[in-house]
Amino acid sequence: MKKKSFFYKFILFNVFILILSSIGVIIYVKTAPKLQINNANNLILYDSNNDVFFEGSQSKEWTSLENISKDLINCTIYTEDKNFYKHYGFDIFRILKASYVNITNHSAKQGASTITQQYAKNLFLSFDKTWKRKWDEAWYTIRIESNYSKDEILEGYLNTINYGHGQYGIGNASKYYFNKEPKDLSLAEASILTGIPKSPSNYSPLINYELAKKRQLTVLTALKDNNIITEEELDKAYQEELVFTKAEDQERINSLMYYQDAVLDELDSLSNIPSSYTDINELKIYTNLDIEMQKNLENTVKNTLPEDSSIQTSVVMMNPNTGGIIALIGGKNYLESSYNRATKSKRQVGSTMKPYLYYAALENGFTSSSTFTSEKTTFNTSSKDSYSPKNYNDVYGNKPISMATAIAYSENIYAVKTHLFLGSDALINVARRVGITSKLEDIPSLPLGTNEISILEMAAGYSAFANEGYKVKPHFIEKVVDSKGTILYQNKEEKEPVLNSSLTFILNNMLTATYDPDYIDYNYPTAISLAPKLTHKYALKSGTTNSDNWDIGFNKDIVCAVWVGYDDNQALKTTEYKYAQNIWYESVEYYEKDKKDIDSWYTMPKNVTVVLVDPISGNPVDETAEKKKFMYFIKGTEPTNAFQTFDEINTDNYAS
């Protein structure tokens, strides 16, 4: 009896505490300041001219519930939360059912969030999956339900939910997809739109029509199962031909969405920005976006890559002096694939890895005239394995060539010889100093770019060459300000000196050899076709693998990195290797169109001298020589006719 008595008292005590707590919560909620849900968590993105290019989480034109199609309202309620008008923010029975299904299937197959919970999450919270976030979501749900009517909550939800492609709110979405007012949407149109918010990148009919139609059928079936529509009405709506707004009317959003996504990802990573915006209401995010350059970049990609091919691209244009990213492309067409290859993908970089090696060589006593013999070579490594790389098209000079010539032809033999001569630490050390964080394997093929690196890392790494020796951090956001004008975040320009400015000057000039006719000999410079097209001077390096094509080039003003390839790593066709180069040169030339070349190239340092040499051999010549070129050297390292080929100095690491 005593045990039963204790048990009953324990139950009564806990019920009493629960009732008391509930009363306390209700009193607090009723007396606390009312949440301002109509303007909470509004994000406004500005370009570098302080012009708005995106406004999310709040429609510019708030649409009242009476001006929204009844079909859209029904589709939303019976798909997302059929007991919306009956519960107080939480659907207990739905939670229990979802828990049972998830436990039974050992996975999170069913969710139980109500419309109010989703609204609370959209308005006030970040999307991290923590217990604190769940608790905050529940607390805001209670506050919203206590302060607003069901119609006000539903209206707010429909005006703030993400319908994909940067369209927040049903007013924006209905105009974007169908060029209609929300009240004029048909059942077919309403059901296709209702299916999008569950996963905008998957269920947008402009990205995956087949998947969007499957989701539409789920929405229509929910209406039928709840006796809102008949089987005949379901079939009619599902079979109705949907006419979407023409693609040219969506062009502006399409050209900005990759950049916008990258900005919002960076915003989530900033520790200065609170996860709950209830006291902020609005965030103004000032970015480095050059809207004119972004649009030109989008058009260049569109005009370069064939529309009927699954080939993809990513492009980063960066200010090398600040690390600010002024334009970005994450794929050929955002409407077809929202995956941002510029920020999320890593690919083999090919010969674009070589400038890090050649800077290391200059740092270790090499010069523009330092020579190795261009010939078929088998390298015997310390592990007693052999390695036999080949030059492109199996072309060799069978004679000593200068470092500048090796850069012009992108010689693999010269690169591997240099790498083994210096030791692998030299290349890796330079790459780490300029900001390459990806894994770099200690293997003979490292300078040939067999490791995978992101395009953002490569653009940042080349920025250290472009700005004459400083490591910069790539970033999109310059400043974040709340609705009261308080600066929540200000980017601090951090330039860490990591390279020697005189050596970067010498390297940058050697990188112009890739399109210089003076280097035509037994081979052609890799970008010789650009020689008559370029109106400004740039340092440029290309990189190719079987499935990747890169071009990265720069001057003092801009770094432009371009990658082209297939997501599934299928081999590129010979004709497809021209795409990256075309995108690169058209983009940088457009950026430099109004600038003088003298302002964008580099001034020769005082400790650097210029010598007339044969560009292929690197040997000094006079004005009477048939082949001659001025090349740069640190004073005291100028070449002589007795200059020795490095093959003759150290042959321990490899054998021909």
Q: Are strands 282-287 and 42-46 parallel, antiparallel or unpaired?
A: parallel
Rounded-to-integer distance, Cα 423 and Cα 442, Å:
9
- Is residue 514 within 8 Å of 538, Cβ to Cβ? no
Sequence-distant (6+) residues with CB within 8 A of 504 are: 359, 464, 465, 468, 469
**Options 57, 191, 314, 351, the catalytic residue:** 351
Sequence-distant (6+) residues with CB within 8 A of 219 are: 75, 79, 191, 194, 195
Distances (CA, A) of 29 to 122, 278, 357, 394: 20, 15, 64, 77
Verify whether residue 638 is a known catalytic residue.
no
- Is residue 136 within 8 Å of 125, Cβ to Cβ? yes
Verify whether residue 80 is a known catalytic residue.
yes
Q: Residue 24: how many CB atoms within 10 A of its CB?
A: 10
**Position 385: which residue type?**
D
Ordered strands of the 325-329 beta sheet: 325-329, 312-318, 559-565, 548-554, 539-544
Instruction: Tell the residue number behind the tokens 């999310």, with chain if given.
Output: 56
416 dihedral zone (left: phi>0; alpha: psi -120 to 50; beta): alpha
Rounded-to-integer distance, Cα 252 and Cα 507, Å:
39
Sequence-distant (6+) residues with CB within 8 A of 474 are: 316, 318, 323, 325, 456, 459, 460, 463
HSE toward the beta carbon, residue 576, CA cutoff 13 A: 21
**Options 57, 59, 80, 463, the catalytic residue:** 80
- Is residue 408 within 8 Å of 375, Cβ to Cβ? no
Rounded-to-integer distance, Cα 302 and Cα 583, Å:
10
Active site residues: 80, 351
